[in-house]
Amino acid sequence: MGSRDPLLSDSDNLNDWFPRESTPLVAGHRLGVVVGGSLAKGLDVKLDRETMIEDLAVGRYVVVRGSRKDFFCMITDIMLDATNPAIRSDPPDLSDPFLREIYSGTAAFGTIHVAPMLSIDRDEGEPKPVRTIPSHFMPVEIATAEDVNTVFGEEDANHFHVGSPLELEETQINLDLRRLVERSVGVFGKSGTGKSFLTRILLAGIIKNDAAVNLIFDMHNDYGWAVKDERGAQAKGLKQLFGGRIAIFTLDPEATRRRGASYDHVVTIGYDKIEPEDLAMLKTTMDLSDAMIDAAYELRKLWKEQWIARLINAGLEELEYLREELAASPASVMALKRRVQRFERFGFLTQDAIDDSARTILEFIEKRKSVVLEFGRYGSALEAYILVANYLTRRIHAMYIDRVEKALGDETMEPPQMLITIEEAHKFLDPQIANQTIFGTIARELRKYNVTLLIVDQRPSGIDEEVMSQIGTRVTALLDNERDIAAVLTGISGAGGLREVLARLDTKQQAIIMGHAVPMPVVVKTRTYDTEFYASLVGDSREKPRAEGRSKDRRLR
C-alpha cells in the first residue's frame, strides 16, 4: 500500500478537495462559448465545465450574446468531445476522483450545436432574420422570459397563447391568428399524440378572437360536444365553450342525441344531387377504375339527375339496354353498380334531396357561426366521410367564389374568412388526385376566395408535395417515420437540425410549430385542455369589435 497524505483524515475525500460544482440550469444561466460553426450549418458551443450536459435537451432555446446583437437559437444536437482522440480508445480511470476532475471539462468536455433563428440588435430591439453569426468565444446563455417575449410578444386581440417553450413555463408562445388563417394549416403527429386536442385548442383560439369562421368535418365526434380525454375525464366541446357561436349539424341525429348533445340541422343528400365528380374523390377508397368513372359520366349524361338511383335499381333488362347506349363496357357498368350499391348503407342518402344542406351551412357561415358536422356512426366508414366532405366543400366553395366575385373588391360585401377542417387529409390530398380535388384547389389558392384548410393527419408523407409546400403553418407532434418527418420539413429553412428535434418530442403535449404564424420554429409544451383553459376563453370577442390589422408589437414580420 502506498503512503497516505498526512493532510487527509479518515473522513476526508478527494471530492472535498476537488469539488465539481454544478448549478441548476435556470433562465440566464451561462452554458459555454461559441467555438465554431457557420451561418448555413449552425454554431458549435463548448460547454463550461460547470454545465451538466445531462440537463440539456434538443429544442431548448439559448441566446448567444454577441458584441452588438443577441442571437436567438435552438439547441439541435448535443455531443461529447475530447482534445485528445486517444481518450476514446484508452479512457482514464475515473474511479480516481482526482483524475476525474482533471479530465472532466478540460481534456473531455461537452458541446452543443445550436441553430440561429433570429438576431436582435440591442439598439433597435426588433427581431430580424439571421444574416450573420457571432464571433468566437461569445457567451451562450439559457434564454430568459424577456428574450422569448421579445420574439413572440404578448397575447392580444390578434395573438393567441398556445403553450410555453420547453423548460420556460413562466412565459408563453403566441400564434398570430390573422397569419395563421390566411394560408392553410397542418396539424400532424402519429396516432395517440393528441392531435384532436391540439386542433381543438387552435380552433378555440380562432373562434375566441374571431379570426375566421369554421366548417369542421368532425369524423370522430371530437369537436362539437364533450369527449373523453386520454385519462377518461370529460373535456368540453366547442359548443359548450362558445354556445350560440357554434352550430352542430349531424348526419346521424340518433347518435348525437345519445351523446346528450342537441343539433341545429340534420344533413341529408339526395342521390339526384351527386355528380360523377363526387365519385372521382372516392377512386382509391372504393377501388374505382378510370373506366368506371368514365361510365359514371356517361350514365349522368343519359339518365340526368336520377343516374345513381336508376343504376342501383337497374335490372338485367336495363343493363342489357345500356350495351347499345354507352361506349363503356358492360363489365365497367356492372362493377360501378356494385360499388354505388354500398351507398344504401348510409341513412343520410335519400332518393331525392330534402333540402340544400350546402346552402344551409353557408347561411350559418355568413352569420359568422362556425359549423361542426358530426358523422356519428358513419365516421367509421371512410367512403362516407370523403363523399360528404367533398360534396359539401365543392358546393360551398363555388358559392364563396360567386359571392367574392360579386363583391368586386368591396370588403364589406365579401363573405367572412372560412377555415375548413378535415381529418385523414391524405385521403383527399393524395398525389394521384390532389390536382383534381376541391381540397387541392383550395390549398393552392392561398386565400384568393377567403377559404383555407386546416388539415389533420398522421401520414403527411401521403399528401401531395405541392400541397404541402402551400401549407403556411405546420403544427407537428411526435412523428417517428422518416418519410413523414421529411414531408413535414419540406421547404423549411434549417430542416436538418429540426429533424432531430422533431423525432425526440414527447408523446404527449409537445409540438413544434413552424411557418407563417410564428416568427421562427418553436417547440412548445402545449396548453392543457382543462378548466383553466376554459376560463381563459370567457373574455372572448363576442361583444368586442373584430380586431383589424396588425397589433403594434416587436414581433418579426
**Cβ atoms of residues 293 and 307 within 8 Å:** no
Number of structural domains the chain divides into: 3
Q: Give the separation between CA 236 and CA 368, rounded to whole angstroms.
A: 21
> Among 466, 492, 518, where does a domain finish?
492
Q: Give the separation between CA 451 and CA 183, rounded to whole angstroms.
A: 9
**Cβ atoms of residues 390 and 217 within 8 Å:** no
pLDDT value at position 15? 45
What are the residues facing 524 on neighbouring strands? 165, 511
Q: Give the separation between CA 122 and CA 119, rounded to whole angstroms.
A: 9
**Is 72 inside a domain boundary?**
yes
Burial class, 26, CB count within 10 angstroms (exposed 0-12 / middle 13-18 / buried 19+): exposed
Instruction: Please state the pTM of the whole predicted model.
Output: 0.85
In 250-381, where does DSSP find H-type helix? 253-258, 276-280, 290-303, 307-313, 316-325, 330-340, 357-366
> Among 151, 170, 205, where does a domain finish?
151
Is there a single domain that holds both residue 263 and residue 376? yes
Is there a single domain that holds both residue 464 and residue 398? yes
pLDDT value at position 434? 84
Domain span at residue 41 reads: 14-151
pLDDT value at position 130? 93
Is there a single domain that holds both residue 43 and residue 146? yes
Is there a single domain that holds both residue 450 and residue 390? yes
Cβ count within 10 A of residue 176: 25
pLDDT along the chain (557 residues), means of 10: 43 45 74 95 93 90 95 94 83 73 78 94 89 96 90 90 86 93 96 92 96 96 84 86 96 92 94 92 90 94 93 87 87 94 94 89 95 95 94 95 86 90 93 86 87 96 92 94 92 78 89 93 92 82 41 41
> Among 459, 492, 525, where does a domain finish?
492
